[in-house]
Amino acid sequence: MPSQEFFFERVTSEIHQQMEGVLALAERLARQPLGADAQSCVAGVIEACVNVRQIVASSMDLRNAAATGIELNLAPHRLRDLVDDLEARWGARARASGVTLLVAYDGDPEASALIDAPRTIQAFDGLIAQALAGVRRGAVEATLKAAQDGDVMRIEGRVRGGGDRNLGARALDIREIEALFGLEIALASALGRTILTALGGHIRADDNRGGGETLVFDFQAACVLETPADNGTAGGEDGRSAHILVVDDNATNRMVAETLCEMFDCTSESAVDGVEAVEVAKSGRFDLILMDIKMPRMDGVTATREIRQFAGHAGRVPIIALTANADPEDAAGYLSAGMNGVVEKPMKPENLLRALQENLGGGAQSAAA
């Protein structure tokens, strides 16, 4: 990897990880009994962190897409749930801008398709962001339509906004959209169109009577006969909440992991290095261990090998590697050392959720992700 490539990866990863940490701390602070001015300051910090995180994530996605194409992870998903995700993702932001976001679903309520749900939401993101930026008051309408045609599901997304700028039908010029709407929206728009190309979809713009435009995208996906069931909450033995040991020498990383564990109704304790992790793991009171790899005194791989020497449950506890080095060769080494899986840093809720589902009795609430 050329040095420029290496440092781009390291810098963007570090920015993303630090923003995750600041966001987790700010969200925990927001739950404290603060005065109105303090709450307003915390809300501003949270909004800034979310924006920076999104800019970094979109930049990395676009760069990776240019190099290797968009990676799609297809899975069965109930299509009406996408509309709820859109409302949760954009409703508060629209209200803060003085705009009403109206979301609707048109189709069989139980219709499911084999899609990449997060990527489909990202395809919507650029359109909604652009529509909201062009409206000063009134409403933006986002509609998802699903129509089954044999074994194929035809999926159409529509975002109707006001304003007098009609850019959707033109070839994307990221610099032009950035000048009009800002960098975050320009990146979201570019990423959305890149995702639609990967999905085999198309995008067009229809003029609205009285001004503005309706941005429309469509693509096809394979139908799924049944909707995957909700798996409940992450649980340990005997149906109780799982108790997790978080091992990391970085205080911010520990806080992020503990916050995510709390999100999935798990309790947690922490250790600052491998030596401390081995000592507390002897008790056998943990259902799972999240183990950082690079730590002072004793690294995660050595600590895992030590723990695997214990008798009974203490030696069999699932151990998940937490690392920024999650290449296949690295992951194979962690597994050969006795670990049960790998979660890449910066840690994402959906990746931790998957690790909990695969290694604990029961699953975690998909809604919590």
Mean confidence (pLDDT) of the chain: 79
> What's the pLDDT tens digit per position in 248-278?
998 878 888 888 888 788 899 999 999 999 9
The residue out of 68, 95, 110 marking a domain boundary is 68
The residue out of 165, 190, 224 marking a domain boundary is 224
- 51, 107: one domain: no
- 144, 258: one domain: no
- 130, 107: one domain: yes
- Residue for token digits 């899975």? 75
Q: How many CA atoms lie within 13 A of 347 on its CB side?
A: 30
pLDDT of residue 362: 46
- 97, 200: one domain: yes
> Helices 3-30 and 36-68: crossing angle, nearest 10°?
150
Indicate whether 197 belongs to any domain.
yes
- 54, 81: one domain: no
- 215, 244: one domain: no
- 207, 295: one domain: no
**Number of domains making up the chain:** 3
Please name which of 113, 127, 125 lies closest in space to residue 81, comparing C-alpha atoms. 113
Range of the domain at 60: 3-68
- 209, 290: one domain: no
> What's the pLDDT tens digit per position in 206-259?
776 655 678 888 998 888 765 444 444 455 555 567 899 999 998 878 888 888
Indicate whether 232 belongs to any domain.
no
Indicate whether 60 belongs to any domain.
yes
Indicate whether 110 belongs to any domain.
yes
Q: Is the whole-model pTM more than 0.85?
A: no
- 137, 253: one domain: no
> What's the pLDDT tens digit per position in 277-309?
999 999 899 999 999 999 999 999 999 999 999
Rg (C-alpha) for the chain, rounded Å, is 22
Instruction: Name every residue whose Cβ is closer than 8 Å to that of residue 297 and which is 6 or more positions away in sequence.
Output: 273, 274, 275
Indicate whether 149 belongs to any domain.
yes
> What's the pLDDT tens digit per position in 312-342?
889 999 999 998 876 777 888 888 889 998 9
Residue 173 has pLDDT above 70, yes or no: no
